[in-house]
């Protein structure tokens, strides 16, 4: 600490860039502080990155909370949230010029994700955080006095409150235990689902409604109804500690969720698509668990498509446009939805989720009246309802549909659910009685083999033509559009990719592309498939953590699923696909 105080004093009231001298490690009585990345100006975004390192023998977090990977993930999630709460309790924010003089953490959602903000080693835990060092005065000189208060008083209080189990009160210890137990129980639910052919599980008494369409916190209204499983679909999952969890199990195959408007259909679907992630205690969806390969499919007008075989769903288009290797810079609703299905299956997903509200109607169905007007030869689109059974039987692709006005899919469904004032009923027998037996489809043709990536993809360089300046690497989330990624010269729009849970996942996708760029260059004239590359990178991250991506700002990433990475790859407008002979296919 004396070393840090002396250095701060020596650069007091100096131009702000003098803080670059703070790079390095400083010892405090109970932890070690390390400055990893230093900001260039007051209030800069991104700000500085620092870390605190605490020996586990001093932290005294119980060893059994750190043994299994899912337990470490839960403990890490708990600690970063507690550190964030400590900032609120102990730190004065925005004390300096241009909003400088603040602590922050990575943005956190309601999900428990693998992040590079908290790392457990063999003998220590390290937490990375964001710190905007303070400036003052008209010129924005370094405010050493406030910096010392931040580090010597506020940071010490935050660390003492966050890391030392022996200082936790009973409620805090129980909260940490709930985080860990939730992950343990979730792992057992997933194992049970695999053994019994289930694609989703929704526990009884789950609270599914959210605060709003833009706020993922649970709805607090007293009238919120908790979920209860229909008796016919209710299952009980035994846990290793002797307890059990009861709720609704959705089996593989075709499932339809129907009901009137505002009765909870889409609320249930939103919970299911979010169930690919673990949720924090108190969220209400803690035991809503969905198979990890689930992917939400929707229409996406205007997206780019590169060399995708959409011919199983859309025949050749006017003017001789072939659809077995279809490309477009401005896809329609139907062609985009067809491409989304093919790309998801290509990436390994075998569980697709649909809500009719976000689908292209002409892609879903073709009713009897339009058939009387348009001859089949005039319509290249093969409605999805005519292929769903074949997708399930031939390709083992399960699907869950939300339908309120399209009864066609009820004729195809193995399981039919009715949401009536947020109460779930199994109406499968009723549907079969009124609509007859399940209608099977004609066999869907095989898809063309997976596309292979050309070696010169994912160039991160950005050229500012106005300033005639070249930036070797541009990877950043668009500040005012959290679902859009600036990567090199591309703006990758992921607004329609529903299962990105938090902005740091988007940034991690950018660094995934950069990591793939390096390996693609090394692969030379031996191109591999998109599935090969996303599986390879997932394996590297599982072995080495997010550090394998070598981010410019360590501590700011959350792990994306490989399916969202594939979705990002497929939406890059400069994407190049290799021909069968290994050469790239160029597009205007």
Question: For residue 483, which of 453, 451, 505 has the smallest C-alpha distance?
Answer: 505
Give the pLDDT confidence of 90-103 residue by residue, as tens digits: 999 999 999 999 99
Question: For residue 387, which of 369, 412, 351 has the smallest C-alpha distance?
Answer: 412
Q: Tell me whether strands 351-355 and 398-402 are parallel, antiparallel or unpaired.
A: parallel
Measured CA to CA, the distance from residue 507 to residue 502 in angstroms comes to 10
Q: Sign (positive/negative) of CA torsion 183, 184, 185, 188?
A: positive
Question: For residue 115, which of 148, 67, 80 has the smallest C-alpha distance?
Answer: 80
What pLDDT does 482 receive?
77
Are the beta carbons of 61 and 47 closer than 8 angstroms?
A: no
- pTM score: 0.95
Helix 530-544 to helix 503-523 angle, to the nearest 10 degrees? 110
What pLDDT does 306 receive?
97
Q: Tell me whether strands 278-279 and 254-258 are parallel, antiparallel or unpaired.
A: unpaired
What pLDDT does 102 receive?
97
Measured CA to CA, the distance from residue 536 to residue 116 in angstroms comes to 19
| Averages of pLDDT over each 10 residues, the chain, 588 residues | 91 96 96 96 92 97 95 98 98 94 96 97 97 94 97 98 97 98 98 98 97 91 92 98 97 97 96 98 98 98 96 89 94 97 96 97 87 78 93 95 93 97 97 94 77 95 90 89 92 96 96 96 86 97 96 96 98 92 53
Give the side-chain half-sphere CA count within 13 A for 333: 12
Return the SS3 of 249.
strand
What pLDDT does 479 receive?
76
What pLDDT does 588 receive?
43
Torsion of CA 378, 381, 386, 390, to 10 degrees: 130
Give the side-chain half-sphere CA count within 13 A for 455: 10
Alpha helices in 275-376 (DSSP H): 333-346, 361-364, 368-373
Burial 284-315 (b: 16+ CB within 10 A, else e): bbbbbbbbebbbbbbbbeebbbbbbbbbbbbb
> Which domains, ranges and CATH numbers included, belong to the chain?
2-168 (no CATH), 181-449 (3.40.50.300), 452-585 (no CATH)
Backbone angles phi, psi at 189, to 5 degrees: -65, -45
What pLDDT does 586 receive?
53
Are the beta carbons of 163 and 94 closer than 8 angstroms?
A: no
Measured CA to CA, the distance from residue 128 to residue 36 in angstroms comes to 9
Give the pLDDT confidence of 208-253 residue by residue, as tens digits: 999 998 899 999 888 899 999 999 999 999 999 999 999 999 999 9
Measured CA to CA, the distance from residue 515 to residue 524 in angstroms comes to 15
User: What is the full DSSP assignment across 190-228?
Assistant: HHHHHHTTEEEEEETT----EEETTEEEEP--TTPPPP-
Are the beta carbons of 103 and 129 closer than 8 angstroms?
A: yes
What pLDDT does 151 receive?
97
What pLDDT does 173 receive?
98
Return the SS3 of 114.
coil
Are the beta carbons of 66 and 75 closer than 8 angstroms?
A: yes
What pLDDT does 114 receive?
97
C-alpha of 528 from chain center: 25
């Amino acid at each position: 600490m004396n070393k840090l105080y002396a250095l701060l004093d020596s650069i007091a009231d100096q131009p702000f860039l003098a803080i670059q001298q703070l790079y390095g490690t400083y010892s405090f009585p109970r932890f070690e502080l390390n400055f990893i990345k230093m900001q260039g100006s007051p209030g800069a975004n991104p700000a500085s990155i620092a870390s605190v390192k605490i020996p586990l023998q001093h932290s005294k977090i119980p060893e059994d909370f750190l043994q299994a990977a899912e337990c470490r993930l839960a403990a890490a999630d708990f600690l970063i949230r507690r550190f964030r709460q400590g900032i609120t309790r102990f730190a004065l924010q925005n004390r300096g010029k241009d909003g400088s003089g603040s602590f922050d953490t990575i943005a956190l959602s309601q999900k428990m994700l693998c992040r590079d903000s908290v790392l457990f080693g063999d003998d220590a835990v390290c937490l990375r955080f964001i710190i905007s060092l303070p400036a003052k005065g008209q010129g924005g000189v370094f405010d050493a006095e406030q910096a010392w208060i931040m580090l010597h008083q506020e940071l010490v209080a935050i660390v003492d409150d966050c890391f030392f189990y022996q200082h936790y009160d009973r409620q805090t210890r129980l909260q940490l235990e709930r985080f860990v137990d939730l992950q343990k129980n979730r792992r057992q639910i997933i194992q049970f689902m695999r053994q019994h052919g289930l694609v989703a599980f929704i526990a009884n008494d789950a609270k599914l409604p959210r605060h709003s369409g833009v706020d993922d916190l649970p709805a607090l209204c007293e009238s919120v109804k908790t979920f209860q499983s229909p008796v016919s679909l209710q299952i009980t999952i035994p846990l290793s500690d002797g307890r059990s969890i009861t709720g609704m199990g959705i089996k593989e195959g075709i499932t339809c969720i129907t009901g009137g408007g505002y009765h909870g259909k889409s609320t249930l679907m939103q919970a299911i698509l979010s169930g690919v992630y673990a949720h924090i205690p108190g969220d209400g969806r803690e035991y809503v668990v969905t198979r990890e390969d689930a992917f939400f499919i929707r229409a996406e007008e205007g997206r780019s498509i590169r060399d995708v075989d959409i011919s199983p769903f859309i025949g050749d288009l006017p003017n001789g446009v072939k659809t077995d290797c279809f490309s477009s810079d401005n896809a329609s609703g139907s062609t985009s939805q067809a491409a989304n299905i093919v790309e998801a299956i290509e990436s390994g997903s075998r569980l697709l989720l649909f809500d009719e509200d976000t689908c292209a109607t002409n892609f879903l169905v073709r009713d009897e009246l339009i058939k009387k007007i348009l001859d089949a030869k005039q319509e290249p689109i093969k409605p999805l309802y005519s292929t769903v059974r074949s997708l399930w039987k031939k390709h083992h692709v399960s699907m869950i549909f939300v339908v309120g006005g399209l009864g066609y899919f009820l004729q195809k469904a193995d399981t039919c659910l009715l949401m009536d004032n947020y109460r779930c009923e199994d109406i499968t027998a009723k549907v079969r009685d009124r609509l007859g037996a399940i209608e099977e489809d004609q066999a869907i043709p095989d898809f063309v083999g997976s596309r292979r990536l050309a070696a010169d993809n994912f160039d991160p360089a950005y050229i500012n033509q106005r300033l005639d300046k070249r930036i070797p690497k541009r990877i950043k989330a668009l500040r005012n559009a959290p679902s859009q990624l600036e990567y090199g010269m591309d703006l990758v729009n992921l607004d329609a990719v529903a299962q990105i849970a938090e902005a740091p996942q988007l940034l991690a996708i950018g660094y995934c592309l950069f990591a793939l760029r390096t390996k693609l260059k090394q692969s030379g004239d031996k191109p591999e498939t998109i599935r090969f590359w996303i599986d390879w990178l997932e394996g590297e991250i599982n072995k080495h953590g997010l550090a394998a991506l070598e981010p410019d700002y360590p501590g700011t990433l959350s792990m994306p699923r490989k399916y969202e990475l594939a979705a990002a790859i497929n939406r890059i407008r400069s994407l190049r696909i290799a021909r069968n002979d290994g050469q790239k296919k160029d597009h205007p």
